[in-house]
Amino acid sequence: MSWAEEEFSTVDFNDKRLDDRLVKVATRLGQSSSSSIPQACNGWQEVKGAYRLFSHEKVTADKILRGHYESTKARIAKEKRVLLLQDTTELNYSNHTKKEGIGPLNNAYRNGVYLHPLLAVTDNRQPLGLVDFYSWSRKSLGQPKANEVRAIEEKETHRWLKHYHKGNQLAEEITTTHFVVIGDRENDIYEVLQSAAEKKHGPTPHADLLVRSSHNRNVLTAKGNKTSLREAVSTSEILGHIQFSHKPRHGKKKRIVKQEVRAIRLTILPTQRRGSRGKMEPFEMTVIHSKEVNPPKGSKGIEWFLLTTVEAAGNYELACQCIEWYLARWDIEIYFHALKNGCRVEEIQLQKANRFYACLALYCVIAWRVVYLTRIARREPQRSCTDFLSKMEWESAYIIIKRKKPKKPPTISEALNYIAQVGGYLARKSDGPPGIKTLWRGLSQIKQVEDYREILNES
């Protein structure tokens, strides 16, 4: 069974021809994720089949993703703990003047859509797939009512609360797995924090919340003193230190970061609100403070204030565990990189909204697979490549690199190494493991070899 057959096994368009076509199109686009639909397909008949799939009234983005969600949940059920990562990215379609379903981004001259997925990963950072997906486009810039008087359900920030609720739903469905919903500073929203604090003490299974603090909120300490969040935690006792590797952006070198760790329990006080926003009550939350010790000259150093429902106050091991979980948040940025640059979704030419979103949904699954393959080779390098790749994929890569036919299937690590070499990876002893960029390039080039081999086998 191919990866596409397995991933979309629960998809049902009430038409077996459409079900089969989805698998075939997913396979083709997955083999050549950075190519356009005509380039990825073999001939005009396959191109027409792909266009007809996305234009069919029974084929929707929701149904495509629902099949992937079910496969993701099956993978989740095998794990003791799963991190649910969420963040927002924009897709820019300013040059697509006739595309439907898009709107202004940050100004009237830039148009596109916003995506806010919920990505499940294991605590050792193996991506399991998407469990929810929220997308929207703005009709206009600006709001008719001031931000502080609108209820959260009326705002775009409601997406953060919706995804936390999705985490709770999964916790109720899969009771053997511990879920932690993780967000960056934009997720520091009172309603989200309050909902998580209340759910923590409720009767039903729940997901924990871990959010990087953005606001220096008013708090009460355990002794009843009113102060600011950052003042309270930064003057508390140091529990110990944590060390990790940090690779900053903009071409800076990777370095080892050492942080001092603090964690205390605080009561978060509500702020003044007006309008239709709901009643706000104080609630308790653990606050973790990690601050870099002896940062490089000219650098402020890395400092985080994390808010969480995990009972980590005064617990050095749990506090460090929460910091490690927060470090995994970067994986959703890697997913966005695969989606935008590996799958090149900002170049989708389909203009009708239903066709565009159906195609985008399929690429969202393909982007996950690219990242998944990269990570599985690092986490379980001795697994057989036949568990993840078609015979044509791994055999073609082997022949290109080794110049001979393989006697037996290589491991997944070896096979992806060959594929990445086809995509430009040098595989020197000093090089690290191949990344997703060389992987998607290699898969695209291997597809051409596969096509030639199919022609030769048929002739």
What is the domain-level CATH number for residue 244?
3.90.350.10
User: Residue 406 falls within a domain, yes or no?
Assistant: yes
Amino acid at 360: L
The tens digit of pLDDT for each residue in 78-130 reads 999 999 999 999 999 999 999 999 999 988 889 999 999 999 999 999 999 99
Last residue of a domain, one of 314, 341, 371: 371
Q: Are 411 and 379 in contact (CB under 8 A)?
A: no
Write out pLDDT tens, residues 118-150. Answer: 999 999 999 999 999 999 999 888 777 777 777
Q: 202 in a domain, yes or no?
A: no
Which CATH number goes with the domain that contains 1? 3.90.350
Average pLDDT over residues 239-266: 88
Q: Can you give the residue range of the structural domain that contains 339?
A: 1-184+329-371
Which residue stretches of 9-157 are H helix?
16-31, 37-40, 43-55, 61-76
| Tens of pLDDT, residues 189-246 | 999 999 999 999 889 999 999 999 999 999 999 999 999 999 999 999 999 999 999 8
Residue 200 lies in a domain: no
Mean pLDDT confidence for 65-70: 96
Which one, of 324, 425, 329, 420, lies nearest residue 374 by Cα?
420
Mean pLDDT, all residues of the chain: 91
According to DSSP, residue 148 is labeled: G
Question: Within 13 Å and on the Cβ side, how many CA atoms surround 291?
Answer: 13
Does any domain span residue 203? no
Residue 33 lies in a domain: yes
Are residues 220 and 266 both part of a single domain? yes
Q: What are the tokens at 375? A: 């990570």
Per-residue confidence (pLDDT) for residue 449, from 0 to 100: 67
Looking at the structure of the chain, the number of domains it has is 3
Domain final residue pick, 328, 362, 395: 328
- Identify whether residues 291 and 415 lie together within a single domain: no
Type of residue found at 404: K
| Whether 88 and 6 share a structural domain | yes
Residue 395 inside a domain? The answer is: yes
Q: Do 324 and 334 lie in a common domain?
A: no
Quick count: other Cβ atoms within 10 Å of Cβ 410?
A: 20
Which residues have C-beta within 8 Å of that of residue 130, sequence separation ≥ 6? Answer: 65, 68, 69, 72, 117, 118, 119, 120, 364, 365, 368
pLDDT of residue 441: 86
pLDDT greater than 70 at residue 36: yes
In a shared domain, residues 258 and 400: no
> Does residue 387 carry a pLDDT above 80?
yes
- The residue that leads in pLDDT, 108 or 336, is 336
CA distances for 80 relative to 58, 179, 310, angstroms: 36, 9, 16
| Predicted pLDDT at 153 | 83
Of all helices (H) and strands (E), which one includes residue 378? helix 353-379
Give the percent of the chain with pLDDT over 70. 94
Choose the final residue of a domain: 349, 371, 393. 371
Same domain (yes/no): 66, 166: yes
Whole-number pLDDT of residue 280 = 79
Listed in sequence order, the residues at least 6 apart from 438 whose beta carbon sits closer than 8 Å to its beta carbon are 420, 421, 423, 424, 425
